[in-house]
Amino acid sequence: MSAQLAAYSTSTGEAFQFWVLGTVAVLGALSTVFMKRAVHSALSLAGTMIVLAVFYLANGAYFLGIVQIVVYTGAIMMLFLFVVMLVGVTAADSLKETIKGQRWLALLCGVGFGVLLLAGIANASLKDFEGIGQANANGNVEGLAALIFTKYVFAFEITGALLITAAVGAMVLTHRERTERAKTQRELSEERVRAGKHVPPLPAPGVYARHNAVDVAGLLPDGTPSELTVSKTLRDRGQVRDVSAEALSDLRALEQRAEERLERTEIDSAPFKRTEEASK
Amino acid sequence: MNPVNYLYLAALLFTIGATGVLIRRNAIVVFMCIELMLNACNLAFVTFSRMHGNLDGQVIAFFTMVVAAAEVVVGLAIIVSLFRSRHSASVDDASLMKL
């Protein structure tokens, strides 16, 4: 980075890079907000962060550019993806508004805020750019280190405490203490027999229905689905597919067809002619 | 091109993130929008560092990154434990204190 950066305007190459990658960054940010699935949001946010890393490098912040890629796209976004896998896939984002008109109001607020912010920047007198060349003369990392370990050393120490607290907090929040020993299979079966309810293994899903997928409940002899046949996880997620109505409607259609056919043979196809005329 | 454009981009990204926090109800996506806002701030810091010709802005951006990492760890842990207790990551469902 030479003293050229001190000029009020940047090189053409940087301008081109800014306009191309800036568009990508804004598109990525927009799709972070408007993508329906959390996974897609996370991926577009990762793209935006990579573009920002390139901008840091272009602005002479070499250390931050690399840290941005390593910490943000490498660690934080992967953590997000892990949590999305743990949580988000089942928790479909319902698009129904709970507060009426909230979305439009929020959009209005956003646009107003953006206009205020951009107008504020446009009004500020940001005329002279010193350029980072002078400060980076002895190397960016060395310059940063000199600042962090002298002027900002207290903040740096506190940062260490913050990181340790965060790590401990995350472990406390997600860790569940097992207070008693896990029951063995024998104990579980003895308990089942003693309680006297449902001693044999649980029935398989879909055996009495026409489907044999795991999410289809088996039908009891009277045609109602049996909750017992579907695994508890699927029941909790509300992903049990009920096909009993389907089977009944199939049966009804079959009966109706049979009746029609019987009628036709009995009453000499009088309604049949009428339908033919109607179709003409 | 004037380097002020970086500031405009940062403002735009911050606005998009803030709008996302208001619009979305999936806690994870809300959290991602907060990350977007933090990143936009960092871009502004780096640009100001270049503008003033010293490295203080970059140091602040570095601290922001550290704080953001700590925040993500705790926030995601909260989301996971919230999901465990109420089987939903929607911020509307956590309304136990509502009258």
Q: Does A110 touch chain B (CB under 8 A)?
A: yes
Interface of A with B in 166-205 (CB under 8 A): 166-167, 169-170, 173-174
Task: Look at residue B84 and tell me whether its pLDDT is greater than 90.
Answer: no
3 state SS for A169-185:
HHHHHHCCCCCCCCCCH
Cβ pair A88:B76 closer than 8 A:
no
- Would you tell me the crossing angle of helices A38-58 and A12-34 to the nearest 10 degrees? 160
Cβ pair A32:B33 closer than 8 A:
yes
How do residues B26-65 score in pLDDT, each as one tens digit? 888 999 999 999 999 999 999 999 988 889 999 999 999 9
Output the six-digit token pair for B1.
């091109």
Topology annotation, domain B4-86: Helix Hairpins (1.10.287)
* Cα gap A33→A38, rounded to integer Å: 10
Query: Between vectors from CA A126 to CA A121 and to CA A127, what angle results, nearest 5°?
Result: 145
Which one, of B49, B38, B19, B57, lies nearest residue A52 by Cα? B38
Q: CB of A166 within 8 A of CB of B74?
A: yes
* Cα gap A274→A259, rounded to integer Å: 17
Q: What is the sign of the dihedral through the CA atoms of A113, A119, A121 and A123? A: negative
The chain-wide mean pLDDT, for chain B, equals 89
Q: Domain residue spans in chain B? A: 4-86
Q: Name the DSSP class of A216.
A: B
* Cα gap A184→B89, rounded to integer Å: 33
- pLDDT number for residue A225: 75
Which chain A residues contact residue B3 at CB under 8 A? 9-10, 59, 129
- pLDDT number for residue A5: 46
Q: Domain residue spans in chain A? A: 9-85, 185-242, 245-279
* Cα gap A23→A16, rounded to integer Å: 11
Which one, of A150, A121, A119, A146, lies nearest residue A135 by Cα? A146
Which chain B residues contact residue A9 at CB under 8 A? 1-3
- pLDDT number for residue A221: 76
User: B94 to chain A nearest CA, in Å?
Assistant: 13
Mean pLDDT, chain A cut into blocks of 10 residues (280 residues total)? 52 89 95 88 94 93 93 90 76 65 90 94 81 82 92 94 93 82 88 83 67 75 77 74 73 86 60 48
| DSSP-H helix ranges across chain B | 4-23, 27-52, 56-86
How do residues B9-31 score in pLDDT, each as one tens digit? 999 999 999 999 998 888 889 99
Q: pLDDT class for B91, splitting at 50, 70, 90?
A: confident
Buried b (16+ CB within 10 A) or exposed e, A176-205: eeeeeeeeeeeeeeeeeeeeeeeeeeebeb
ipTM of the complex: 0.92
- pLDDT number for residue A94: 61
The model carries a pTM of 0.73
Please name the residue that has the structure tokens 């705790």. B74
Q: What is the sign of the dihedral through the CA atoms of A261, A267, A271 and A274? A: positive
- pLDDT number for residue A214: 77
Q: Does A15 touch chain B (CB under 8 A)?
A: yes
CATH number of A9-85: 1.20.120.1200
Interface of B with A in 70-99 (CB under 8 A): 70-74, 76-81, 83, 87-90, 92
